[in-house]
Amino acid sequence: HGLALDKVITKRLIRDCGVPTPNFRVLRRETDSTGDLRYPMVVKPRHEYNSFGLHLVREPAQLRQAVEVIVTQYAQDALVEEYIEGREIWAPLLGNGVPEVLPLVEQDFGDRGTRLMTWEAKFLSGGPHMICPAQIGSKLETMLRDMSVATFRACECRDFARVDFRIDCSGQPFVLEINSMPRIEIGSSSVVAATTAGHSFPSLVNRILDVAYARYFSDRHPSGSRS
């Protein structure tokens, strides 16, 4: 969880293993340079979850204001990355070793003006409509599945997680982040994906417990015996 909740470390880990992620900079002051990053940009706190403090900025004045809010209100660095216009698809994973990738879930923004998963979009407006399984070609689906497993392993996740992607206009996927503790409740993306795969809600919860139990006792009993 410590790795996954540090968005900068996450991006460095997945980039080092060859998984594409949007270009980024870490800003500590509103006057810091973004180098060659291109607008629009997404600005977010380095160590938050649930899209707290997420801003989409299109020009320098907005960028300075967003960085100032994060540094002062959240008392942490701001992660600034290039905004990827395109489809957003989430990949829930379940298991260890070679985790199972559940059916992919697309976030359908419809005619929303801001096609971004802000906190307000998630919790105040009911969130985008989810399409599961995502209607994509087999080649892209294979890429997303492989990239999600690589991300899961790079961040040393366990038992279950969710990897969030953006697909640009050329069809290139980028990992936005990994959520090491996605919501497990009726209507959440992980449960929607599991239901599509044939799980009931109780069977999904039991499956998570099973894989955690197997990992935990396997780590302590290399011979496979249990007491």
* The total number of residues written for the chain in this structure: 227
- Average of pLDDT values for 127-147? 94
Burial, 43: exposed, middle or buried (Cβ in 10 Å; 0-12, 13-18, 19+)? buried
Please state, in angstroms and rounded to a whole number, the distance separating the CA atoms of residues 199 and 100: 13
How far is Cα 57 from Cα 114, in angstroms, rounded to an integer? 11
CATH 3.30.1490.20 domain locations along the chain: 23-82
What is the pTM for the complete model shown? Answer: 0.89
Sign of CA dihedral 97, 183, 116, 44: negative
Q: What percent of the chain has pLDDT over 70?
A: 89
Q: Which pairing describes strands 100-101 and 129-131: parallel, antiparallel, or unpaired? A: unpaired
Q: Can you read off the two tokens belonging to residue 74?
A: 């959240």
Reported confidence tier of residue 120, pLDDT bands at 50, 70, 90 = low
- pLDDT winner (highest mean) among 47-56, 131-140, 183-192: 131-140
Mean of the per-residue pLDDT values of the chain: 90
80-110 tens-digit pLDDT:
999 999 999 999 999 998 999 999 999 988 7
Within the chain, all domains assigned CATH 3.30.470.20 are found at: 87-220
Structure tokens at 221: 């009993």
Q: Quick one: pLDDT band at residue 174, thresholds 50, 70, 90?
A: very high
Q: Give the model's confidence band at 47: pLDDT under 50 very low, under 70 low, under 90 confident, else very high.
A: very high
pLDDT-wise least confident of 27-31, 35-39, 77-81: 27-31
Class of domain 23-82: alpha beta
| 75 vs 121, residue with greater confidence | 75
Separation CA 137–CA 27 (nearest Å): 38
- pLDDT: is 159 or 121 the higher one? 159
Here the tokens at position 33 are 């340079």
Q: Over the stretch 180-190, which tens digit does the pLDDT of each residue have? A: 999 999 989 99
* 87-220 topology per CATH: D-amino Acid Aminotransferase; Chain A, domain 1 (3.30.470)
